[in-house]
Structure 1
Amino acid sequence: MAEEGWIKLYRSIRSNWLWEDGNERYLKWWVDILLMVNHQPKKILVNGEFVEIKTGERLTSTVKLSRRWGVSRNTVTKFLKLLEKDEMILTSKSRQNGTTLKVLHYADYQGFEDKKRHQTEQRSEQRTEHKQELKELKNKDHENFEKLWKLYPKKEGNKKRAEKAYLEAIKNGVTNKEIQTGIVSYIKKIQVEGIERKYIAQGATWFFQNRWTDEYELEPISKSTSDGQRQGKTEEEIVAERKKHAEEITRRAEERLKNEHGD
């Protein structure tokens, strides 16, 4: 049964001495060698022992080749020496095993298929690794968002829309720490200015509008009469007390977030 497969034959062979007029049989024998050598390693039994014939090699003899090509052994030997001189093959002889032909640079003739398969497998592995990395990154981003959502003071609105806005921001280079700092600053503003819950931005709105970019400067304390003033405290004492209270709230929020992150 004939072996299946193919070899590459470059057009440049036309400029080789094998192609010259009068060398037609040399060209035929050379192509025959390319077709007969192994396209992958193979073990064969020779004189009761296993011999490994590598890719691009063939175990034969000048006697077998002379019969195969219908010429004398001397003609075969002469042809093989021409190929060796042109660094196209190497031959090694053994009394027990005969002559081993080795085609030099065999990959240029038949290795393309193996190389292409290897490149395809390599690209497939790289794609798999990349997909796994993206999956892990996506899971990490989701976990980070969940922690920020838990920290936010008013968890209302379309949560999925909020996460989508968060992921888009992260994709565009915004860090998780920036958004976290924005939430903590907003909490501080709520406490210092005494913002009623109904006026606190919904979580979905805050994320969708990228409110972490807002400058949360503390508004001056109102000069209207307060419980502290009625208790005889000065305005400076009231401001200092509220500032201390706000700092404590901020500290607790940061500590809670730090514990959730496991830092």
Structure 2
Amino acid sequence: MAEEGWIKLYRSIRSNWLWEDGNERYLKWWIDILLMVNHQPRKVLVNGEFVEIKTGERLTSTVKLSKRWGVSRNTVTKFLKLLEKDEMILASKSRQNGTTLKVLHYADYQGFEDKKRHQTEQRTEQRTEQRTEHKQELKELKNKDHENFEKLWKLYPKKEGNKKRAEKAYLEAIKNGVTNKEIQTGIVNYIKKIQVEGIERKYIAQGATWFFQNRWTDEYELKPSSNTTSDGQRAGKTAEEITNKEQEHLKEIERRAREAKANNEHRD
């Protein structure tokens, strides 16, 4: 004859991993454990000796549980280990008496002590809040990284190529410890190299390529060339014309650098 009576089941269980999709059988087994453990101390006869089973405990075995739940002993063992890892039960094995399941904080679950029950609910709520806060922090960090990339993409002189690929390379670099400022400095130095050497647009690396190849690690030669002609420069210019042009380039670089610095300081 089945035992009469009832147990309490708090709504907070819906925030537990047992309630997640795909864990339905785990939830069923956990409720079964709550139903099968003693609601008050009792003595049972095992191998000719009396053994006291305390409140919240049950003397059983993985063999009995596997038959009860219709699964293998290995599956039962894995489930009990999950409960132990989450500090929900303590499973004590004995060669003579089998396995004693002890539901930790049983009084909390069944509300024998209101104070403990409130503490349990509070811990559950805190865990839920912490998970929510963590997800929100990750979302904010992701949005911030996206905004930073957009600013760098806007700064880059040749915004061509696969932008998504460029952002993916940027995010991977940030994840590996490269700072946004390092990448920004690399872009500024590359712009300066373009201006100093008078590199034509067709020879400037596409934005996607520059980011994907981690070109911020390149060492750029930023000294003005003394030759009257170079890559991207047209022959026939006088030294005075070239000098004036280079000075204009340098002023533009300084302006962009100040703007980039201001944007970076505002972001920080």
TM-score (structure 1 length as normaliser): 0.53
Q: Decide whether the 8 Å contact of 1:185 with 1:216 is kept in 2.
A: yes
| Whole-angstrom CA distance in 2 between matches of 1:212 and 1:186 | 8
For residues 135-154 of structure 1, the aligned pairs below 5 Å read 135-154=139-158
| Whole-angstrom CA distance in 1 between matches of 2:206 and 2:144 | 24
Residue identity in the other structure for 1:151? L
Q: 1:246 corresponds to which residue?
A: 249
Q: CA deviation at 1:228?
A: 2.5
Q: CA deviation at 1:169?
A: 0.6
Q: Decide whether the 8 Å contact of 2:186 with 2:216 is kept in 1.
A: yes
Unaligned runs of 5+ in 1: 15-20, 22-26, 35-106
| Whole-angstrom CA distance in 1 between matches of 2:130 and 2:6 | 34
Aligned to 2:238, which of 221, 225, 228?
228
1:162 aligns with 2:166: yes
For residues 101-250 of structure 1, the aligned pairs below 5 Å read 110-111=107-108, 114=117, 117-218=121-222, 220-224=225-229, 226-229=236-239, 233=240, 241=244, 243-250=246-253
Residue identity in the other structure for 1:110? A
Aligned Cα root-mean-square deviation (Å): 3.8
Q: 1:92 corresponds to which residue?
A: none
| Whole-angstrom CA distance in 2 between matches of 1:109 and 1:159 | 56
CA offset digits 1:30-54 (Å, max 9, x no partner): 98xx9xxxxxxxxxxxxxxxxxxxx
CA offset digits 1:37-72 (Å, max 9, x no partner): xxxxxxxxxxxxxxxxxxxxxxxxxxxxxxxxxxxx
| Whole-angstrom CA distance in 2 between matches of 1:117 and 1:194 | 68
Taking every aligned residue pair, what percent have the same amino acid on both sides? Answer: 61
Q: Decide whether the 8 Å contact of 1:9 with 1:109 is kept in 2.
A: no
Q: Decide whether the 8 Å contact of 2:195 with 2:250 is kept in 1.
A: no
Instruction: Give the secondary-structure state (helix, strand or coil) at the position aligned to 2:160.
Output: coil
Q: CA deviation at 1:2?
A: 5.7
| Whole-angstrom CA distance in 1 between matches of 2:252 and 2:192 | 7
For residues 86-97 of structure 1, the aligned pairs below 5 Å read none
Residue identity in the other structure for 2:254? R
Distance 1:2 1:216, change over 3 A: same
Residue identity in the other structure for 1:221? S
| Whole-angstrom CA distance in 2 between matches of 1:134 and 1:253 | 31
CA offset digits 1:156-212 (Å, max 9, x no partner): 000011111111111111111111111110000001101000000000000111101
| Whole-angstrom CA distance in 2 between matches of 1:127 and 1:173 | 25
Distance 1:197 1:9, change over 3 A: same
Q: CA deviation at 1:129?
A: 0.5
Aligned residues: 171
Instruction: Give the secondary-structure state (helix, strand or coil) at the position aligned to 1:110.
Output: helix
| Whole-angstrom CA distance in 2 between matches of 1:13 and 1:226 | 106
Q: CA deviation at 1:250?
A: 1.3
Q: Decide whether the 8 Å contact of 1:159 with 1:203 is kept in 2.
A: yes
Residue identity in the other structure for 1:255? R
Structure exhibiting the larger radius of gyration computed from Cα positions: 1
| Whole-angstrom CA distance in 1 between matches of 2:106 and 2:247 | 81
Instruction: Give the secondary-structure state (helix, strand or coil) at the position aligned to 1:227.
Output: coil
Q: CA deviation at 1:252?
A: 1.4
